[in-house]
Amino acid sequence: MGDFSVFHNIGVHRIRIFRILAVMKTLLFFLLLAIASAGAQPAAKPPSRISAIAVPTGFTRIAYAKDSFSEYLRALPLKADREIRSFNGSPVQNSIYAVLAVLDMPLLFKADLEQCADFCMRLWAEWHKASGRLRELSLFNFSGTRVRYSTSGLSERNFLRRAFAYSNSHSLKKGCAAVDEKDLRPGDMVVQNERGGIGHVSMIMDACESPKGERLYLIGFGFMPAQEFHLERADARNGRDGWYTIDGFYRYLAENLNVGKPVLRRL
């Protein structure tokens, strides 16, 4: 009976020890969780405008004429978050994206119209409107022939709707002026389209330069289905601090959006 009592007491003590250890582990877990939460920094919000995005160390923004398309683009506002919305209001998820920022410019139409080429034409039209040049605006038909807004007989909205519906990356490739890489500036486009069908258009949104003449760019695009325009973040292999080298952006396209050899065009 005495032996049984001894073993019984030992068992009780062991159970109590196991319970104490379990409580201590739980307390330790919550303590570490609290420390981690206290030390974690919330994700930084995007800057309010493209011009507020920091340039890499040693670089400065390239100056452009005050009323130019280039300056208009770099002054555009950005959304307070990095969520891209499609034309029907649903959030866009795309594995190839590394979103630096999203333009605070809602889509004009609740239809699948403002895709990549269309959003570039939209930005061109918005600059004409903001600078009092709307009557000088011209866009394209499918073959790349320019169509003037002032002689179209259409409202601004319907003129844009028709351009978005009947032109694409092929139209911009055929109708826009070719650009030398050394003269690349905000507003210029990287156009991909081989045979008139599926293609892609990206737009230079800002540019900076080092004392040695090395240039970096903020580059963005819309996509399919029609969605808000975003700036794509360059990784360390393709640029610096989110800014692309032009060769780095070509590499990004080859690996993620390989729908034709990229060429440079200006509206």
For residue 46, the model assigns a pLDDT of: 82
Q: How confident is the model at residue 202 (pLDDT cuts 50, 70, 90)?
A: very high
pLDDT of 190 over the 90 cut:
yes
Q: How confident is the model at residue 39 (pLDDT cuts 50, 70, 90)?
A: very low
For residue 44, the model assigns a pLDDT of: 77
Provide the 10 A C-beta neighbour count for residue 24: 10
Distances (CA, A) of 158 to 31, 133, 143, 163: 61, 18, 20, 9
Residues of the chain with pLDDT > 70: what percent? Answer: 84
Residue 213 DSSP label: -
For residue 24, the model assigns a pLDDT of: 52
For residue 35, the model assigns a pLDDT of: 42
Of residues 37 and 183, the one with the higher pLDDT is 183
Of residues 13 and 77, the one with the higher pLDDT is 77
Residues 222-237: what's their mean pLDDT?
98
User: Buried (b) or exposed (e) across 77-87, using 16+ Cβ within 10 A?
Assistant: ebbeebebebb
pLDDT of 116 over the 70 cut:
yes
Give the tokens for residue 48.
């309010």
Residues 186-212: what's their mean pLDDT?
96
Distances (CA, A) of 162 to 86, 171, 172: 20, 13, 15
For residue 4, the model assigns a pLDDT of: 38
User: What does pTM read for this prediction?
Assistant: 0.84
Residues 93-99: what's their mean pLDDT?
95
Maximum CA extent, the chain = 111
Distances (CA, A) of 253 to 192, 193, 220, 235, 258: 9, 12, 12, 13, 6
For residue 137, the model assigns a pLDDT of: 98
- Of 15-19, 174-178, 200-204, 254-258, the one with minimum mean pLDDT is 15-19
For residue 19, the model assigns a pLDDT of: 58
For residue 16, the model assigns a pLDDT of: 57
Provide the 10 A C-beta neighbour count for residue 93: 8
Residues 92-104: what's their mean pLDDT?
96
Q: What is the mean pLDDT of the chain?
A: 89
Contact 192, 261 (CB under 8 A): yes
Of residues 245 and 30, the one with the higher pLDDT is 245
For residue 31, the model assigns a pLDDT of: 46
pLDDT digits (tens, 9 = 90+) for 4-37: 344 344 444 454 544 544 545 544 444 444 444 4
Q: How confident is the model at residue 45 (pLDDT cuts 50, 70, 90)?
A: confident
pLDDT of 2 over the 70 cut:
no
